[in-house]
Homo-oligomer: A and B are copies of this chain.
Amino acid sequence: MQERDNWVHDVEMAEPSFGDNTADSDRLRRALAPGADAPPLYMDLELIRNLPDLFRDNGYRVSCCLFRDSQGWVVTGVAPPGSDASWLGLAVDLGTTRYVLALIELGSGRELARVSRDNPQAELGTDILTRIHYVGDSRQRLQSMQELVLEDMRAAAGELCREAGAELENIVNVALAGNTAMTHFFLGLPPKWIIREPYIPALNEPDLVPASRLGLPFGSQARVLCFPGVGSYFGGDLLAGILSSGMHDSEEISILVDVGTNAEVVLGSRDWLIACAGAAGPALEEGMSEIGKQAGSGIIDKVWYDESAGDFRARTLDGEPPVGICGSGIIDLAAELFRCGLLDFRGKFLPDVMPERFKSVDGIIHFVLIHGAESGSGEDLVLGQPEVDSLIRSKAAMYTILETITSSVGLELGDISRFHVAGTFGSYIDPDSAVRIGMLPDLPRERFIPLGNSSLAGAARVLQSPEAIAEVHAVSKKVTYLELNVNQEFMNRFSAAKFLPHTDRSRFPSQDG
């Protein structure tokens, strides 16, 4: 296949003659994949059926759309010449809680529209574990789980096309990045063994799947590429993140961190990649505390202590009265409480310093961030000691994972040149705060790079650049998955990291002075 910068090929074939009576479909194949060592190129019968008339009506000139997986190429559409602008791609970030679709013009690589929706599977289980247990061994429940997201996606794609003034049938290439369980549900594959030792998925390297097999009403030859996973705890979403970060292509040592219930971490460069995942605890997830929430309206994303006013200040994402706080806000809050001496180095409240900000609820001490009079709900927004303890464990786990993976390859945290933080968390987090509480290492701040929705960006990338597919498969082969051994050494590190910022203050020089 000739290397091209997009998936759309304008093809001009020699018209057949007595001296060249190659069949129509073989003629197209030859034009697309010349040479004896041409890679496999698949054309469906339904597509071949239309070629003879299409070729003769257009003087053997057509516009084709291709797609590929690790094994070969597929022709996903053929149309009269000059149809370049009508070929569309759909990038999908299929998250456990939310999913995002982006409509991409394949000829130009331009994003036309984007929509974000709740994953409706949440009605059968809010988290992965619950959903897998719900499905159990039932083929029928698996199908319900699959159909929930497919049905919603049909509606969402329709909405997206209306917004962009496009037709669903013009969607021919779909790239989807999801974690291993979401990818299994999407494809209707049994997820049971993902969560049972030794954690074996049914499939890690999916071939292209016809969209019609999934009941997706796109082009008749549309194909879905699901990003490959590396293991049960390292899915296509993280692979898409690597692709979007560019760390697999850099000479420098980079790290990529994706924080959720699990912290997923990839360390490496163009020469090697090592990954691990570990329970970071729920501290940074919605629901971690009474006031912990996802980013949204009335949600506090930033907290600081105003020296001149002598009091705490909070900012909500949209300026509405506060009703909750997201992960980045909690990290800010903990960092400021520590800086102002309201938390000691063990993470225990010191209420005597500012007693008007504390109250006791059921004998447990709480810091009052927002008084009821100023909150959106009329209730105090509070942070209790148990929630701080939970945050401390989470940040210690994160730091320990970072330290463990780095030392496993003989490096130190300071060797990391680029520190990518993925997701909403990465977009909102203030590195100063995260470093202050010892969650992230004390690196020069410019090394911290928020990635935004890196799964979606990675999915979009393969729709924009055919050569990215080869990168995806090369990366999936290159990543070594490090099984985090929770042994004595890990526990020692964890214990040392359960202080603010750390028992070894010399690791956090920026905080002295």
Which of A's residues lie within 8 Å of B, judged by CB? 16-18, 21-26, 29, 40-43, 45, 48-49, 51-53, 56, 71-72, 187-190, 192-193, 197-205, 207, 209, 213, 229, 231-232, 481, 483
Contacts and interface: CB of A to CB of B under 8 A. Distances in A.
Interface centre among A23, A72, A207, by most chain B C-beta atoms within 10 angstroms, is A23
Contacts of A202: 23-25, 48-49, 51-52
B45 A200 contact: no
7 contacts: A18-B197, A22-B200, A24-B203, A40-B40, A48-B189, A48-B203, A72-B72
B198 A16 contact: yes
A467 to B, nearest CB: 19
Contacts of A205: 23, 25-26, 29
A220 to B, nearest CB: 13
Given A49-B188, A189-B45, A189-B48, A201 B72 contact: no
Contacts of A229: 23
A197 B71 CA distance: 37
A372 to B, nearest CB: 51
Contacts of A21: 198-200, 231-232, 481
A188 B45 contact: yes
Nearest to A481: B21
A350 to B, nearest CB: 44
Contacts of A190: 49, 52-53
A193 B52 contact: yes
Given A23-B201, A23-B202, A25-B203, 4 more contacts: A23-B203, A26-B203, A42-B71, A52-B202
Contacts of A22: 200, 204
A51 B203 CA distance: 10
A146 to B, nearest CB: 11
A191 to B, nearest CB: 9
Nearest to A192: B52
A193 B48 CA distance: 13
Nearest to A234: B21
Nearest to A180: B23
A207 B29 CA distance: 12
Given A40-B71, A71-B40, A72-B72, A26 B204 contact: yes
Which 7 interchain pairs have the tightest Cβ spacing? A40-B71, A23-B204, A23-B201, A25-B203, A16-B200, A18-B198, A52-B202
A46 to B, nearest CB: 9
Contacts of A18: 197-198, 483
Nearest to A49: B189
Contacts of A52: 190, 192-193, 200, 202
A41 B207 CA distance: 10
Contacts of A232: 21
Contacts of A192: 52
Contacts of A72: 40, 71-72
Nearest to A139: B49
A141 to B, nearest CB: 14
A51 B187 CA distance: 14
Nearest to A197: B18
Contacts of A51: 202
Contacts of A199: 21
Interface centre among A16, A21, A229, by most chain B C-beta atoms within 10 angstroms, is A21
